[in-house]
A and B are shown apart, each in its own frame.
Chain A
């Protein structure tokens, strides 16, 4: 008798063959090559998304990868959200644009392993070589034996020793779903019907609601609390101090039956506050940063100082979390960027073994770096522990905007030595900024530099980073320090080009290696923008490039002088292989709108110790009438899959600011364009 091993090897002709160690199969009669993929007795396929979806579309990519390898439609794959469990799922952090980069291979392999086992089971039943069988549309087919649906094969497949079955991945030229522009987001039917569940939509039976009176100025601590009026209100159950869990600022919590009652209860509190920094002012902070610039070196050439403001995350769904803490166990529902680390943190806070804590990652209404932090969850856990009941903690929009962990302010002094043609031959970039207080390693200048300095041009030089103590909470914000460093570098390069009368695209081409991915995307973006033609009268153009997360991107922006509107943005992006092109475009579009928003005016300011902005009425995020036409070209270089979620922000911001500068004849001196900073 032919061994399975022998005839299976025929299956790989021309295809990529990878034998992976496949862990134990489920004893339930399901086929489950790894924790990421299951085929049940009815042939139903479930994929597990190990990382939360914050709008970056990871659940869609998970469905596409599994559907592709199991030869079914994306709709045939149910996507289940993994609970926090780093033992089973490894890192679950949505950070540093790693989700697709780190997940595509384990997911494809798991699904391909399931397919190969199903094919093997069919081949054994038919007594034919597996190489003659193919998986198509949820069935295994053989030219003479006919077809068998997966459900008829699951039990047999689950009984096969996976070590005997080499796994063949579907080669890219045979992809039906991956790389196609037609695939939409998996949750879209739920979203458009209002059925999609976010953190704030999670309310276990009997859950109470808490809102927190937070410090009216930075660092303030409650002094006296008069809660009589609050306690007299209907539905108010408790008022208690919430000490700052970890980095959060805490305050006075009001616990009630409904959100309305909790909010009215908070309104009725009389709290006096002490300590903190009631005189803090972000204009002064900026001046302090600037004063900390190193003494001027030898005067050498053109120089420009850029001043960048505080930015808030302002996710559409404000911070919130729900917890149900019992004596020996706890469940948490939260829109989080990192359910795995959250479970570890909760195990510590509650002194419970991680196995008795369940962290459910809901859909998140945006995150942008903010939901890496566990603060809202720790508050919910503290409230539930005290209440002995499930509690949802809601941050109002005002809380969310005024008690964020902001993108740090920064001051950048750029100096260049130029050759006779005006081209830079040496650069100096001196930065003064704050650390990320919620991520301690980001106080180290070397770590800040690794995050921020991705200067891609062949111009040698120095980067000097001075880190000043942060006067308020700071944290990850889309693209992290690259959003500041890259913006300043590209705006300065544009200014050098303008001073020397050089063409902005040619200038960059000359500073990039021939045949580099970056130069290729620059050429694509320039061509799409008809760069060689003169810009229309009254408009100006800007260009910027960026290389990060293993991906390359170039952006050309066109702005109108009179209206100060951004008219068009052309982007060419190379992420190696785009698995989900509509998702790639969406992330680029999102970054472009972040750039429009921050270059045209959104900033956070602090006066008399308090954040001034409190909602979208004064944190002036872009609206639909400010959206430019955005044209995204996805360039496939076939390089390893790169990251994308944050990639487009730095170059889009720089290209837009430079376009406004070119249109108006006003130099870029920071962000927002042409406004006071701080």
Chain B
């Protein structure tokens, strides 16, 4: 089996896996990073959303081979102690119901705020419209992204 050199959450990993293995299973099973969730495996739910070179991507439709030489960040690597403004906003507004979609929602929101610090509701909705929350936490997600934007503004 081929070997791949991956850079995940700032650490180098050598993984041996079939060349068509999706990055999601590499993260979850080879590296034990279970923060990115399996929700569909075909790129339509967003539960696995992570960052590749700082942008939101879906590891379930990216292979390990394609991820070589890129900086991959999972929810575990977003901040050392869960203190990213988006994570704080999620806690303060008690967003989660079952919580299963939330790592993906948070990673999508963090990527949005990194490129657009003050998004309006339409921009938030556009960035998150392909992240499904089956529990219906959308009203709180909207409020939490706005709140996170505020926290980031204060920090600047």
A→B interface (CB under 8 Å):
53-57, 184-185, 187-189, 191-198, 200-201, 203, 234, 258-261, 263-264, 314-318, 363-368, 394, 396-397, 582, 586-587, 589-594, 615-617, 621-625, 627, 629-630
Residues of B within 8 A of A627 (CB): 136, 138-139, 142
Contact A317 B138 (CB under 8 A): no
**Would B45 and A615 count as touching, CB distance under 8 A?**
yes
CB <8 Å contact, B132 and A623: yes
Residue from the list B92, B95, B100 in contact with A365, Cβ < 8 A: B100
Nearest residue (CB) in B for A365 is B100
Assess whether B129 is in contact with A623, with CB atoms less than 8 Å apart. Answer: yes
> Judging by beta carbons under 8 Å apart, are B96 and A188 in contact?
yes
Query: Given A259-B25, A615-B44, are A185 and B96 neighbors across the interface (CB < 8 Å)?
Result: yes
Q: Which of B25, B101, B137 contacts A260 (CB 8 A)?
A: B25
> B44 near A616 (CB under 8 angstroms)?
yes
Q: How far is the CB of A589 from chain B (nearest CB, A)?
A: 6
Specify which chain A residues have a CB less than 8 angstroms from the CB of B47 in the assembled complex: 316
Provide the bound-state CA to CA distance between A621 and B133, in Å: 9
- CB-CB under 8 A from B94, the residues of chain A are 184-185, 188, 582, 586
Query: Looking at chain A's contact residues, is the secondary structure mostly helix, strand, loop, or mixed?
Result: loop
B132 near A589 with CB under 8 A, answer no
Which B residues are closer than 8 A to A by beta carbons? 1, 17-18, 20-22, 25, 28-29, 33-42, 44-45, 47, 74-76, 81-82, 87, 90-92, 94-103, 106, 124-126, 128-142
Chain B residues, CB < 8 A from A367: 98
Assess A366 versus B37: contact at CB under 8 Å? Given A316-B98, A615-B45: no
A364 to B135, CA, bound (A): 12
Smallest CB separation, B78 vs chain A (Å): 8
14 cross-chain CB contacts under 8 A = A57-B97, A187-B99, A188-B95, A193-B76, A258-B29, A260-B21, A264-B20, A586-B97, A589-B139, A589-B140, A590-B136, A591-B136, A594-B136, A617-B44
Q: Are B139 and A590 in contact (CB under 8 A)?
A: no
Least CB distance, B21 to chain A, in whole angstroms: 4
Given known A195-B35, A197-B34, A316-B134, contact A184–B139 (CB-CB < 8 A)? no
Shortest distance between the CB of A75 and any CB in chain B (Å): 12
Cα A153 to Cα B108 with chains together (Å): 49
Give min CB distance, A401 to chain B, whole Å: 9
Q: Are B38 and A200 touching (Cβ within 8 A)?
A: yes
Q: State whether A193 touches B40 (Cβ < 8 A).
A: no
Residue in A195, A315, A582, A625 whose beta carbon sits within 8 Å of that of B134 in the complex = A315
Query: Given the complex of chains A and B, what is the CA–CA distance between A200 and B39 in angstroms?
Result: 10
Q: Which residues of A contact B92 (CB under 8 A)?
A: 184
Contacts of B18 in A (CB 8 A): 234, 260-261, 264
Is there contact, CB below 8 Å, between B90 and A188? yes
CB-nearest residue of chain A to B82? A193
Q: A623 — which chain B residues lie within 8 A by C-beta?
A: 125, 129-130, 132, 138
B29 near A314 (CB under 8 angstroms)?
Answer: no
Note all chain A residues with C-beta closer than 8 A to B34: 194, 197, 200-201
Q: In angstroms, how far is the closest chain B Cβ from the Cβ of A553?
A: 16
Given A193-B87, A586-B97, A590-B136, CB of A396 within 8 Å of CB of B126: no
Q: A314-B134, A624-B129 are in contact. Are A187 and B39 (CB under 8 A)?
A: no
Do the beta carbons of A184 and B91 come within 8 Å of each other? yes
* Contact among B106, B132, B140 with A316 in the assembled complex (CB-CB below 8 Å): B132
CB-based contact A316/B135 at 8 Å = yes
Q: How far is the CB of A203 from chain B (nearest CB, A)?
A: 8
Contacts of A53 in B (CB 8 A): 98
Once the chains bind, are A316 and B138 in contact (CB under 8 Å)? no
User: Max chain B CB contacts within 10 Å: which of A191, A194, A367, A622?
Assistant: A194
In the complex, what distance in Å separates the CA atom of A196 from the CA atom of B130? 22
Q: A260-B25, A364-B98 are in contact. Are A624 and B142 (CB under 8 A)?
A: yes
A259 to B17, CA, bound (A): 12
Q: Which residues of B contact A615 (CB under 8 A)?
A: 40, 42, 44-45
Chain A, Cβ-Cβ closest to B74: A194
A200 to B35, CA, bound (A): 11
Whether A194 pairs with B36 at a CB distance below 8 angstroms is yes
Cα distance A100–B7 in the bound complex, in angstroms:
45
Q: B137, A586: Cβ atoms under 8 Å?
A: yes
CB of A590 within 8 A of CB of B141, answer no
Give the residues in chain B near A259, CB-CB below 8 Å.
25, 28-29
- For A187, the chain B residues whose CB sits under 8 A away are 96, 99
Smallest CB–CB gap between A566 and chain B, Å? 12
A194's partner among B22, B103, B125, B141 (CB-CB below 8 A) is B103
- Residues of A with C-beta under 8 A to B138: 593, 622-624, 627
Asked whether A191 lies within 8 Å of B124 as measured between CB atoms, the reply is: no
